[in-house]
A and B are shown apart, each in its own frame.
Chain A
Amino acid sequence: MSEWFEMVVWGCLVINCLSILFLLYRAIAGPSNPDRAVALDTIGINLIAITGIIAIILDSIHLNDVILLIGILTFIATVAIAKFLEKGDIIERDRD
């Protein structure tokens, strides 16, 4: 890796981490639960980014599974939270 490339990579990593820190402010401060849900979802996306950057730093392919999984899970979690906020329930009973 060239020196410039490495600087950029570390810079991105720090920026992403700071972004999580700011998102944390939103997650804690609220003011409403949808705000927090979106903050958590975005934290998930930042996780994807950070994991990817770390994979580059470590020069490893073993974290690729993690990236995909975070993508799926944050989606599922966000949908679940959204459904809960909307309907007050996640799994509805059959009504037949």
Chain B
Amino acid sequence: MLHYYILAPFLAAAIFPFIYSDSRRLHAGWFVLPVPVVLFIILLQKLSVLISGDTIMQTVRWIPSLDVNLDFYLDGLSMLFVLLITGIGSLVVFYSIYYLDRTEQLKQFYVYLLLFMGSMLGVVLSDNVFVLYTFWEFTSISSFLLIGFWYKRKRSAYGAQKSMLITVMGGLSLLAGLIILTNITDTTSIRGMIAAQEDILNSGLFIPALLLVMTGAFTKSAQFPFHTWLPDAMEAPTPVSAYLHSATMVKAGLYLTARFSLIFSGTDAFFLLVTGIGLITLCAGSFLAVKQTDLKGVLAYSTISQLGMIMAMLGFGTGGAVLAAIFHIFNHATFKGSLFMVAGIVDHETGTRDIRRLGGLMSLMPVSATLAFIAAFSMAGVPLPILNGFLSKEMFFTASLKISQTTSLASAFADFVPFLAVFGSIFTFVYSMYLVFGTFSGKGNVKDLPKKPHEAPKGMLAAPAILVILVIIIGLMPNLISGSLLAPATEAVTGEKALVHLKFWHGVNIPLYMSLAVVIAGTLLFITLKKWQPLYGRIPSYASADRFYNGLLSVLTNGSKQLTNGYMTGSLRLYTMIILAFLTGAAGWFLWRTGGFAFSTSDLAPVTIPELIIGAVMLIAAIASVFMTHRIAAILVVGVVGYGLSLLFVFFRAPDLALTQLVVETITVGLFLLCFKHLPKLWPLNKTAGEKFFDLIVSLSTGTILTLIAISAHSSKWFDTISHYFVETSYTLGGGKNIVNVILVDMRGLDTLFEITVLGLAAIGIYIMIKLRTKGD
């Protein structure tokens, strides 16, 4: 059954464009809406299976020979994510019906969205690592398409490209890590790998595998220093930002970390990497969020920091921390989704998202303002019993105080973690307040806004309202989902039965003091915001990851351009030089390394004086031809070499070769003369002494290496020749006394056939080149 759930969005994406074009009266979103809603309802019913402690596993064979099969597995963790994907997916589709105008390219939008939904379901349900990777890249591609939805805008194209490059880089690194894991454990199943955890931990490739897999997770979840794509992805339509870049896709990295934590956790490296990066991301993200002036920019950095917080909790390695992480994944999806939708409403109704221009919208848009305040307070962790964000933040503090100190590194770092947690949370508080108060309170200059603001339509408000109601319900009654959803998910991550009971009031303890400290310090900082915000201008621009990305990109493109221009100069001389130098170097190195040079004088024929003289003639003529300054002179001297060669054939008793050589030499001289009429006179090549010297080196070494190879080939005969066979059988089998000719047309006739073909082609080619040349050439 699981396969159909994953297939359903893909099928819908395939069918939808055909259905939609037939009936244009309804908004396209209404046709898409049933898919996530029905999936959500069906999957919700599976919850009973999980509560009873079971899991669902289904397999369809795909590539059995490579052990790659469509294995899908539904446990608590997958369940949490599929419910988020389908649930928030439904709300986002509903919201987009009101958000996106009918004039937009709705067909494309919903096809991309459905593709994304299906691939995201595939990611969280796959048990086979390569299927997981396949869906992982599907999410990258569909996210790319959605970010670049308004492809005519330059910023959209830039953001789409950036997110594509970074997430695909991480995806490829993930693939490499998965291949290493598969090689170590000899299985492609995640659960098989968990079972073989000992092998992985004892393998020498453990650290590379961990780094590669976690790079994939960090890039997808926008962790430091790969977070830089997420703020630029805000060029996407707001429903996309709400869905992909807050609730689902950016959590794929968290899912991966959680899913693989049974393999990696408990090691120093995992703790250091995940907690370290998570805390850095938390602090840097929340700190930078205050700097932003764009509503969605604040939300993007806020998402980064919240994801860092969850990532850090996954690294803590205690059951309580995992529970807090899972709980916060859920909570973050609810309040961040609603905040994005509200930001979209504000943008939609006022025409701007710039906080500096906004303000005082509370009386004009009371419903949106209420929703935003509740969601933002939840995000800030304000200690109110109706906010789920406070509960998970409290659990975060608790977890940060009780880090699993099984490893030496963990105990060394444990003391710093609570301080970093508080630091990040203070700025979380500041930007949350900045976000809502900056937008909705104060005076504001309503007349300057591009549009006259008024309350959004009810349909648009419905989706964020549902999410905010969820925030309140979970805040009031957290145990509503603790037993059914959070416990199985925690169990899936830690591998141990989790006893979950959430309550709002823990009594007066350290986490509460931490929360209060956050609120007090945050309030103070927020009130004095105007005074210290200019400090952000002092942050040197070279310290930003964005600048690093752009610099790297231009270094790469310019570097490869320069590299290519460096050797692809269009000069045939250089190409020939490279080819010859490489040939000489490779052949020489290889022969030297393998001891291939051999020199034997045992098998040499006697040399006569006439042969020596002819050899000397050819040598002198060949050398002289290089120094000729006139074309005719050069060709005539080369002709001497050709005639000398034919004479050598005569000396060595090869009359057929001598005949052919003579004819070919004469024709070649004639052909050269034919061309000379059209060629200019030889001009002196103005080469520097260095170039000449280099040419000399290359040509001398090429000649030397070829001579050495020829001598070695003659000196090391491994087999007897087969020529005696031709001598014996040329008359009995071939019926001819001329052995050369019998070989050419009988024994090895096929070669002759193709040499005839070559000549024919050359003739046709010449004819075509002369006859069909374009005028002016």
A binding-site residues for B, Cβ under 8 Å: 13-14, 16-18, 20-21, 24, 27-28, 30, 33, 36-37, 39-40, 43-44, 47, 50-51, 54, 58, 60, 62-63, 65-66, 69-70, 73, 76-77, 80-81, 84-85, 88-91
**Is there contact, CB below 8 Å, between B632 and A44?**
no
Instruction: Give residues of chain B (313-327) contacting chain A, Cβ–Cβ below 8 Å.
Output: none
List the A residue with the shortest CB-CB distance to B670.
A80
List the A residue with the shortest CB-CB distance to B653.
A58
- With A50-B610, A77-B669 as given contacts, are A88 and B659 in contact (CB-CB < 8 Å)? no
**Is there contact, CB below 8 Å, between A90 and B670?**
yes
Instruction: Give residues of chain B (142-192) contacting chain A, Cβ–Cβ below 8 Å.
Output: none
Which chain A residues border B644 with CB–CB below 8 Å? 20
The one of B617, B662, B663 in contact with A24, judged by C-beta atoms closer than 8 angstroms, is B617
Q: How many residues of chain B get a CB closer than 8 Å to chain A's CBs?
A: 35
Bound form: Cα–Cα A70–B660 in Å: 11
**Is there contact, CB below 8 Å, between A24 and B610?**
no
The one of B613, B646, B650, B663 in contact with A21, judged by C-beta atoms closer than 8 angstroms, is B613
Kindly provide the distance from the CB of B585 to the nearest chain A CB, expressed in whole angstroms.
34
Which chain B residues border A14 with CB–CB below 8 Å? 609-610, 613
List the A residue with the shortest CB-CB distance to B613.
A17
Q: Which of B616, B633, B676 has the most CB of A within 10 A?
A: B633
Which chain A residues border B673 with CB–CB below 8 Å? 80-81, 84, 90
List the A residue with the shortest CB-CB distance to B671.
A90
Bound form: Cα–Cα A60–B658 in Å: 15
Which chain A residues border B640 with CB–CB below 8 Å? 24, 27, 40, 43
**Is there contact, CB below 8 Å, between B637 and A27?**
yes
The one of B613, B620, B636, B662 in contact with A81, judged by C-beta atoms closer than 8 angstroms, is B636
The one of B624, B637, B655 in contact with A62, judged by C-beta atoms closer than 8 angstroms, is B655
Which chain A residues border B621 with CB–CB below 8 Å? 24, 27-28
**Is there contact, CB below 8 Å, between A54 and B659?**
no
The one of A28, A60, A80 in contact with B620, judged by C-beta atoms closer than 8 angstroms, is A28
**Is there contact, CB below 8 Å, between A47 and B617?**
no
The one of B613, B659, B670 in contact with A20, judged by C-beta atoms closer than 8 angstroms, is B613
- Taking A16-B610, A63-B655, A66-B646 as known contacts, 12 extra A-B pairs with beta carbons closer than 8 A to each other, sorted by chain A number, are A17-B614, A20-B617, A33-B633, A36-B632, A40-B640, A63-B650, A66-B650, A66-B658, A66-B662, A69-B659, A73-B662, A81-B632
Bound form: Cα–Cα A65–B741 in Å: 15
- With A24-B621, A58-B653 as given contacts, are A36 and B637 in contact (CB-CB < 8 Å)? yes
Q: Which of A27, A66, A73, A91 has the most CB of B within 10 A?
A: A66
The one of A21, A33, A37 in contact with B617, judged by C-beta atoms closer than 8 angstroms, is A21
**Is there contact, CB below 8 Å, between B633 and A50?**
no
Bound form: Cα–Cα A57–B666 in Å: 27
B630 at the interface (CB under 8 A from A): yes
Bound form: Cα–Cα A43–B630 in Å: 20
- Chain B positions 669 through 688: 1 when the CB is less than 8 Å from some CB of chain A, otherwise 0: 11001101100000000000
- With A14-B610, A17-B609, A66-B658 as given contacts, are A33 and B636 in contact (CB-CB < 8 Å)? yes
Instruction: Give residues of chain B (588-647) contacting chain A, Cβ–Cβ below 8 Å.
Output: 609-610, 613-614, 616-617, 620-621, 624, 630, 632-633, 636-637, 639-640, 643-644, 646-647
B575 at the interface (CB under 8 A from A): no
Bound form: Cα–Cα A44–B647 in Å: 10
**Is there contact, CB below 8 Å, between A51 and B647?**
yes
Which chain B residues border A76 with CB–CB below 8 Å? 666, 670
Bound form: Cα–Cα A21–B662 in Å: 19
List the B residue with the shortest CB-CB distance to A50.
B647
Bound form: Cα–Cα A30–B676 in Å: 19
Which chain A residues border B620 with CB–CB below 8 Å? 24, 28
The B interface, classified by DSSP as helix, strand, loop or mixed, is helix
Which chain A residues border B658 with CB–CB below 8 Å? 51, 63, 66
Bound form: Cα–Cα A51–B670 in Å: 23
B651 at the interface (CB under 8 A from A): yes
The one of B610, B624, B655, B676 in contact with A66, judged by C-beta atoms closer than 8 angstroms, is B655
**Is there contact, CB below 8 Å, between A65 and B633?**
no
Bound form: Cα–Cα A43–B641 in Å: 11
Bound form: Cα–Cα A85–B669 in Å: 13
List the A residue with the shortest CB-CB distance to B620.
A24
- With A17-B610, A24-B640, A33-B633 as given contacts, are A47 and B677 in contact (CB-CB < 8 Å)? no
Kindly provide the distance from the CB of A87 to the nearest chain B CB, expressed in whole angstroms.
9
Bound form: Cα–Cα A62–B658 in Å: 11
**Is there contact, CB below 8 Å, between A70 and B662?**
yes
Kindly provide the distance from the CB of A12 to the nearest chain B CB, expressed in whole angstroms.
10
Closest 4 A/B residue pairs (Cβ): A17-B613, A28-B624, A36-B636, A73-B666
The one of A13, A43, A44, A90 in contact with B610, judged by C-beta atoms closer than 8 angstroms, is A13
**Is there contact, CB below 8 Å, between A28 and B637?**
yes
Enumerate 17 A-B pairs (CB-CB under 8 Å) in ascending A order.
Answer: A17-B617, A20-B617, A24-B617, A24-B621, A27-B637, A27-B640, A28-B637, A33-B633, A51-B647, A51-B650, A54-B651, A63-B658, A66-B658, A69-B659, A69-B662, A70-B662, A85-B632
- With A21-B617, A89-B677 as given contacts, are A40 and B610 in contact (CB-CB < 8 Å)? no
Bound form: Cα–Cα A58–B613 in Å: 19
Kindly provide the distance from the CB of B741 to the nearest chain A CB, expressed in whole angstroms.
12
Which chain B residues border A16 with CB–CB below 8 Å? 610
The one of A50, A51, A65, A84 in contact with B632, judged by C-beta atoms closer than 8 angstroms, is A84
Which chain A residues border B677 with CB–CB below 8 Å? 84, 88-89
- With A62-B655, A69-B663, A77-B666 as given contacts, are A36 and B609 in contact (CB-CB < 8 Å)? no
- Chain B positions 421 through 462: 1 when the CB is less than 8 Å from some CB of chain A, otherwise 0: 000000000000000000000000000000000000000000
Which chain B residues border A36 with CB–CB below 8 Å? 632-633, 636-637
Bound form: Cα–Cα A90–B675 in Å: 10
Q: Which of B609, B643, B659 has the most CB of A within 10 A?
A: B643
Which chain B residues border A63 with CB–CB below 8 Å? 650, 655, 658
- With A24-B620, A70-B662 as given contacts, are A18 and B651 in contact (CB-CB < 8 Å)? no
**Is there contact, CB below 8 Å, between A47 and B637?**
no
Kindly provide the distance from the CB of A83 to the nearest chain B CB, expressed in whole angstroms.
9
Kindly provide the distance from the CB of A42 to the nearest chain B CB, expressed in whole angstroms.
11
Kindly provide the distance from the CB of A74 to the nearest chain B CB, expressed in whole angstroms.
8
The one of B630, B639, B643, B651 in contact with A33, judged by C-beta atoms closer than 8 angstroms, is B630
Which chain A residues border B646 with CB–CB below 8 Å? 47, 66
- With A63-B650, A80-B669 as given contacts, are A90 and B643 in contact (CB-CB < 8 Å)? no
Kindly provide the distance from the CB of B524 to the nearest chain A CB, expressed in whole angstroms.
98
- With A21-B616, A66-B658, A81-B636 as given contacts, are A91 and B650 in contact (CB-CB < 8 Å)? no
Which chain B residues border A88 with CB–CB below 8 Å? 677
Bound form: Cα–Cα A80–B650 in Å: 25
Bound form: Cα–Cα A91–B640 in Å: 24
Bound form: Cα–Cα A95–B38 in Å: 88
Kindly provide the distance from the CB of B303 to the nearest chain A CB, expressed in whole angstroms.
80
Which chain B residues border A24 with CB–CB below 8 Å? 617, 620-621, 640
